[in-house]
Amino acid sequence: MRILLSLVLTCLITNTRADVPIITNGKAMAIIVTSDRPSQVASYAANELALHIEKATGIRLRIAKESESSRAASHLFIGDCEASRAAGIDVKQLTPEAFVLRAQGNDLFIVGDDKNDDPLDADTRAGTLWGAYEWLDRAVHARWLWPGEGGTFVQKTTSIVAIDVNETVPMKLFQRKIRPGLGMESEHPAMGFTKAAFEQYSRDQTVFLRRHRMGRSFPMGYGHAFTDWWQKYGNEHPEWFQLREDGKRGPKKSTSRFSMCVSNPEFRQQLVTNWKAKGGKFINACENDILGTCTCALCQGLDGPAPADYLTYYSPSSKMVGSRFVSDRYAHFWLNVQQLAAKTDPDATVIGYVYFNYFQAPTSGVKLNPNILLGFCPSGGFFPRSDAEHAWMKQQWSGWRDTGARLFLRTNHLLDGYCMPYIFVHQFADEFQHAARNGMVATDFDSLTGQWSTQGPTLYVASRLHVKPEASVDDLLAEYYNAFGKAAPDVKRYFDYWESYTATHRESLAKSFEELQASRWRSFAKAAHAIFSLECFAPADAILDEAAKAVANDSEASARIEFLKLGLAHAMLCVRVASQLTIAQPTATKEQTKALLEELIAFRRANERKGIANFNQLAWVEDLSWKLSDETKQAPDLYP
Ligand SMILES: [Zn+2]
């Protein structure tokens, strides 16, 4: 009896399992089907599926409209359509950007919440596209290491089966954002991309970011909120603005930055009045790009006691030195604005930045709530950090989290490193994951510098964590390294070398940057040579030579090693130029270094279509770091 029952059960299980054959022994078994009038997102997703399946198998699946689709052995239904509705998938029931993966009978459904708009626009909800990428991740181990064809890895195979699945997958973060860094302009454009190369770079990077599911569930506006308030309200209401040490209100000079008198009740009310007139769910209450400096009694009365370690982790030249700790006054300000707005809309959400002298977690015991959304924006805190500083940084996240506010990561640390092999992936991932485990709802990283060939592991993991925040960082790195085939252990060794180099040079970097007055994000090229001596490149170069030998018979992996080698050669060249042209070295003349600069520009022209780096970003940094010739003010196409 028991045997019979188990046989029956086995049959039932066998009958209900729905593994769907897509490609069998090099033969197409499925067609890709969209609705007769697919959304732009669904059409794009269908193409992305066909493209990656072809890359894995050599077989291009046919894409058909639903009414034209002849009966194939199996179907990949992409996006909302008659068949998905008949299968009971109701896209209106999905949370924003969520998707359903379901195998049923001989069909696989990938259906999500989409907005019918440009699939490459970060504001287009693209659940179906996210579903396609999730499925490609599982079925062919699709990995997007860097933008463009060379950075796209899929596992080669002759058969693909969509295994039985029935999942509804919501987005873990309602905004996933690494600012693309495509708008950088230099006074010396010859150092950057030609126009055509920039267009290709931009397109490839945009596609890449969407493949990592960058985007958001709804539009959300924020940023330094009061920059035009002095002009608008300064005459009539100077009392809304910072009270200065000299007893006057407002900016010191008409062009100076200023902060607000955030304790002023009429100022708070005006902010809410303006929001009501404009509408929407979000109230932008991010202080201007400056410390909170109001010295009035009401503001100071809201301040909590300064923590003992308040200034421990700031450099001697930081604007923070000598500042007053004002986190609690801002917490009270956001809370009060939220309470005022709640009279109109209980769901209204106030957005603030925790930044400068209102970055460290409050100390007065003030309690906030989830309708206050705070961007975690440390000034300083670049990677790598000492263990103590890193722990301190995570404590600030936890401290704000304990107020009851919702938080998003809004850091500037990815702007660091110029084009150097500057790797801090483990510490970066640890901070991201600490945030993810402790209530992070969104990200906004400023910005992607696009140094794919020298900083690949950090950028890959930063992108990948947006999809898999809970994954082990070493597993994610293994995904990256495994795309180098038999050279995977060498490539791991190569980047471990640089991560260790970066970590061990933490203190000398801080010292050199102080001495040469270089900024981590604006003028790294002023001091790059002080950290990355030409000698430090030799062992790394040797590892890549070994890696190249290991994959001599694997053209795809060889090309990836070549990509890393180009990045390293470019970094070395930039170090040579930096040592000659840095504005920190007053004796350098542009005549002396003309040949060297031309070598760098020629290198960039020769390699600008390979996606090794965003040269426009570098040109912007170099503009602020180097003594450049007037010739480089020409467009790159016109440069001799
Ligand atoms: Zn004040």
Would residue 443 count as lying in a domain? no
Separation of 231 CA from ligand 1 center, angstroms?
19
> Whole domain around residue 130: which residue ranges?
15-171
Q: What is the mean pLDDT of residues 214-219?
A: 97
Tokens standing for 38? 């697919």
* Helix (H), strand (E), coil (C) string for 328-375: HHHHHHHHHHHHHHHCCCCCCEEEEEECHHHCCCCCCCCCCCCCEEEE
Separation of 220 CA from ligand 1 center, angstroms?
28
> How does residue 10 score in pLDDT terms, banded at 50, 70 and 90?
very low
Domain check: are 491 and 558 in the same one?
Answer: yes
**How many Cβ atoms sit within 10 Å of the Cβ of residue 3?**
7
Q: Which residue shows structure tokens 């049959």?
A: 11
DSSP state of 127: H
Domain check: are 50 and 24 in the same one?
Answer: yes
**Angle, CA 70 vertex, CA 66 and CA 74 arms, to 5°:** 85
Would residue 454 count as lying in a domain? no
pLDDT higher at 142 or 69: 142
Domain count of the chain? 3
Chain length of the chain:
640
> How does residue 591 score in pLDDT terms, banded at 50, 70 and 90?
confident
Domain check: are 135 and 238 in the same one?
Answer: no
Separation of 280 CA from ligand 1 center, angstroms?
28
Separation of 565 CA from ligand 1 center, angstroms?
55
Separation of 240 CA from ligand 1 center, angstroms?
8
Q: Which of 504, 499, 413 is nearest to 462 (CA)?
A: 413
Separation of 55 CA from ligand 1 center, angstroms?
61
> How does residue 15 score in pLDDT terms, banded at 50, 70 and 90?
very low
Separation of 296 CA from ligand 1 center, angstroms?
4
Q: Which residue shows structure tokens 């006054």?
A: 329
Separation of 336 CA from ligand 1 center, angstroms?
15
Would residue 532 count as lying in a domain? yes
Separation of 246 CA from ligand 1 center, angstroms?
14
Alpha helices by DSSP H, 212-282: 229-233, 265-278
pLDDT higher at 580 or 591: 580
Separation of 72 CA from ligand 1 center, angstroms?
71
Would residue 137 count as lying in a domain? yes
> How does residue 367 score in pLDDT terms, banded at 50, 70 and 90?
very high
> How does residue 17 score in pLDDT terms, banded at 50, 70 and 90?
low
What kind and span of H or E run contains 511? Answer: helix 506-515
Query: Which of 403, 420, 437 is a domain's end point?
Result: 420
> pTM higher than 0.85 for the full model?
yes
d(CA 37, CA 176): 29
Tens-digit pLDDT profile for residues 611-634? 999 999 999 999 999 999 888 999
Question: In this model, does residue 375 exceed pLDDT 60?
Answer: yes
Counting beta carbons within 10 angstroms of the beta carbon of residue 260, is it exposed (0 to 12), middle (13 to 18) or buried (19 or more)? buried
Separation of 269 CA from ligand 1 center, angstroms?
15
Separation of 32 CA from ligand 1 center, angstroms?
62
Separation of 249 CA from ligand 1 center, angstroms?
9
What's the distance, Cα to Cα, between the start and end of the chain in Å?
89
Separation of 294 CA from ligand 1 center, angstroms?
5
Separation of 261 CA from ligand 1 center, angstroms?
4
d(CA 11, CA 27): 28
Query: Which of 420, 441, 464 is a domain's end point?
Result: 420
Separation of 230 CA from ligand 1 center, angstroms?
15
Domain check: are 269 and 362 in the same one?
Answer: yes
Domain check: are 518 and 401 in the same one?
Answer: no
**Is 409 strand, coil or helix?**
strand
Q: Which residue shows structure tokens 């693209």?
A: 126
Separation of 188 CA from ligand 1 center, angstroms?
43
Q: What is the mean pLDDT of the chain?
A: 95
Separation of 173 CA from ligand 1 center, angstroms?
35
Domain check: are 327 and 246 in the same one?
Answer: yes
d(CA 199, CA 280): 34
Separation of 609 CA from ligand 1 center, angstroms?
53
Domain check: are 52 and 155 in the same one?
Answer: yes
**Contact call for residues 18 and 104 (beta carbons, < 8 A):** yes
Would residue 435 count as lying in a domain? no
Q: What is the mean pLDDT of residues 173-200?
A: 97
Tens-digit pLDDT profile for residues 426-471? 999 999 999 999 999 999 999 999 999 999 999 999 999 999 999 9
Q: Which of 32, 172, 125 is nearest to 468 (CA)?
A: 172
Separation of 263 CA from ligand 1 center, angstroms?
5
Separation of 374 CA from ligand 1 center, angstroms?
21
Domain check: are 131 and 196 in the same one?
Answer: no
Query: Which of 374, 392, 420 is a domain's end point?
Result: 420
Determine phi and psi for 449, rounding to 5 degrees. Answer: -90, -10
Q: What is the pLDDT of residue 73?
A: 83
Would residue 431 count as lying in a domain? no
Residue 13: partners with Cβ closer than 8 Å, 6 or more residues away: none
**Contact call for residues 454 and 502 (beta carbons, < 8 A):** no
Q: What is the pLDDT of residue 12?
A: 41
Q: What is the mean pLDDT of residues 236-265?
A: 97
Would residue 577 count as lying in a domain? yes
CA dihedral angle for residue 527, residue 531, residue 534, residue 535, rounded to 10 degrees: 160
Q: Which of 508, 412, 421, 497 is nearest to 456 (CA)?
A: 421
DSSP state of 471: S
Separation of 242 CA from ligand 1 center, angstroms?
6
Separation of 258 CA from ligand 1 center, angstroms?
12
Residue 542: partners with Cβ closer than 8 Å, 6 or more residues away: none
Domain check: are 616 and 492 in the same one?
Answer: yes
Separation of 292 CA from ligand 1 center, angstroms?
9
Determine phi and psi for 608, rounding to 5 degrees. Answer: -75, -10
d(CA 416, CA 528): 11
Tens-digit pLDDT profile for residues 53-91? 999 999 999 999 999 877 788 999 999 999 999 999 999
Q: What is the mean pLDDT of residues 248-266?
A: 97
**How many Cβ atoms sit within 10 Å of the Cβ of residue 207?**
17
Question: In this model, does residue 592 exceed pLDDT 90?
Answer: no
Separation of 248 CA from ligand 1 center, angstroms?
12
Would residue 144 count as lying in a domain? yes
Q: What is the pLDDT of residue 587?
A: 77
Separation of 229 CA from ligand 1 center, angstroms?
15
Q: What is the mean pLDDT of residues 561-577?
A: 98
Separation of 221 CA from ligand 1 center, angstroms?
26
Q: What is the pLDDT of residue 638?
A: 85
Tokens standing for 95? 């949370």
Tokens standing for 541? 């170069």
Paired sense of beta strands 349-354 and 372-376, if any: parallel
**Bridge partners for 165 per DSSP:** none
Domain check: are 264 and 372 in the same one?
Answer: yes
Separation of 546 CA from ligand 1 center, angstroms?
63
Domain check: are 398 and 375 in the same one?
Answer: yes
Domain check: are 513 and 554 in the same one?
Answer: yes
Separation of 329 CA from ligand 1 center, angstroms?
9
Identity of the residue numbered 550? A
Q: What is the pLDDT of residue 14?
A: 42
Q: What is the pLDDT of residue 452?
A: 98
Q: What is the pLDDT of residue 45?
A: 99
Separation of 369 CA from ligand 1 center, angstroms?
23
